[in-house]
Amino acid sequence: MTRYQVWFNYRMSAGQLNLYYQGRELDNTCKADPSCKDLKETIAHIAWECSHAQAIWQQVWTHWEGENHYDQRNVRQYVTSRQTPPPSQQLIQRVQSMYGFFTDDHAKALDSIWWIVTSVVTSLLWLRRNERVFWHQHSTTSECYANAKQLYWYVEASPS
């Protein structure tokens, strides 16, 4: 993980991310999605409640599970607790197709991968929020998800 992602995840878990800054407009509504325009921007909204965030988490979950059985409460619990969901049959089959087998070592590796993926996605949602607020740049859900996958592969390829 990058130093920024470590810093971000610490600050998020400690409740120390700053939504308010000098010169901010009094409008504290969500800027990510027009369907959320009347909802207050909070850390929970940015990371979970916003339809943009929900779409990202749904894509992450579907990719992880290999099928679309997305339940926001279930996913949120796995992400916030940093507990890896039990591997689905599709995930086990993907690992077996790559390596010929699935062992406890693979399950341990999935724990690390889950931790990295969830850290990357939450920090990316925050970065996208800052791009909208400070630079008036907007990313589509597809662009955000593609960027999350790209960041994940960058983190995996980087030396520790």
Q: Classify residue 30: in a domain, yes or no.
A: no
Q: Are 123 and 22 in contact (CB under 8 A)?
A: no
Q: Does 19 map to a domain?
A: no
Please identify which residue in the block is written with the tokens 């049959």.
89
Angle between helices 51-65 and 89-99 (to 10 degrees): 50
Is 18 within a domain? no
Cα–Cα nearest to 33, from 15, 55, 13, 18: 55
- Is residue 150, in this structure, part of any structural domain at all? yes
Domain count, the chain: 1
Q: Is the pTM of this model over 0.85?
A: no
Task: Give the separation between CA 59 and CA 54, rounded to whole angstroms.
Answer: 9
Distance of CA 121 to the CA centre of its chain: 2
Is there a domain that residue 82 lies in?
Answer: yes
- 32 in a domain, yes or no? no
Distance CA 6, CA 39 (A): 28
Task: Give pLDDT tens digits along the chain (160 positions).
Answer: 788 888 898 898 888 888 876 666 677 888 777 788 788 888 899 998 998 899 889 888 888 887 777 788 888 999 888 899 999 899 999 899 999 999 999 999 999 999 988 998 999 899 888 888 888 887 777 777 777 666 555 544 544 4
65 within a domain of the structure (yes/no): yes
- Domain membership of residue 63 (yes or no) is yes
Domain that holds residue 49: 3-13+41-157
